[in-house]
Amino acid sequence: MSTPHPVITIDGPAASGKSSIARLVAQRLGFTYVNTGNMYRAMTWAVLQAGVDPQDAEAVRATAASVVIESPVAEGKTQVCIAGHALTDAELNSDPVNRAVSHIARVVEVRERLVAAQRALIAIGPLVMEGRDIGSVVFPDSPHKIYIDASEDVRASRRSAQGHADQVAERDRLDKQRKASPLVIPEGARVIDNSHITLEQAVEQVIVTLKLS
């Protein structure tokens, strides 16, 4: 799909460092940063607030159909709001949400709605959009694709240091095996191993690869 503005897609598994890298790349380039994972987390938060079992796909489908997620821009990045409530980082990254988000993201109707919402954000202007299917599904024709990876041990250590108890290997397994938009390395993406380099080094590698600065 053609877009009126450039979109830099940054994909990768849990705790690979893609969010920190994408945020800084957006700042460096003056683009709007979009964390699509927060949109799935917001939907997960709403489903859990409704008391729905996240592994009950039919119940999730019914509940999610009435959830409206808004993405206003503030300070160079999109926020996530549900029914006028701007979700906090604590709400989006709680352990219950961490454990449930991959189950919510497996529901085809949820992905279809959020993918459409993500594509609509191109109206904002140039974007750095990160997630797990941005270069493969949301904007597959973008010429600016990055895939951030890191070893499982490094990623698990990062999650533990952040105070979270979720298992990155299990989240990756679920996301790679889902039928709708599985986690893959997008065709044509530059793969950057972020296991043992600094954040600034990773950002520099992305900027050099993009040749947009």
Q: Is residue 35 part of a domain?
A: yes
Q: What is the pLDDT of residue 213?
A: 47
* Cα angle: 161, vertex 23, 77; to 5 degrees: 120
pLDDT at 178: 67
Q: Is 82 helix (H, G, I), strand (E, B) or coil?
A: strand
- Tell me which residues of the chain have a pLDDT lower than 50: 213
Q: Specify the CATH number for the domain of residue 36.
A: 3.40.50.300
Within-domain flag for 151: yes
Domain that holds residue 146: 7-210
Q: Confirm whether 79 is domain-assigned.
A: yes
Domain assignment present for 50 = yes
User: How many domains in the chain?
Assistant: 1
Q: Is residue 91 part of a domain?
A: yes
Using CB atoms within 10 Å of the CB of residue 55, give its burial: 0 to 12 exposed, 13 to 18 middle, 19+ buried: exposed
**CB contact at 8 A, 66 and 46:** no
For residue 160, is it within any domain? yes
**Cα 44 to Cα 2, 31, 75, 209, distances in angstroms:** 30, 27, 25, 34
- Whether residue 190 is contained in a domain is answered as yes
Do the beta carbons of residue 76 and residue 26 sit within 8 Å? yes
**Contact by Cβ (8 Å): 137, 115:** yes
Asked, for residue 99, whether it belongs to a domain, the answer is: yes
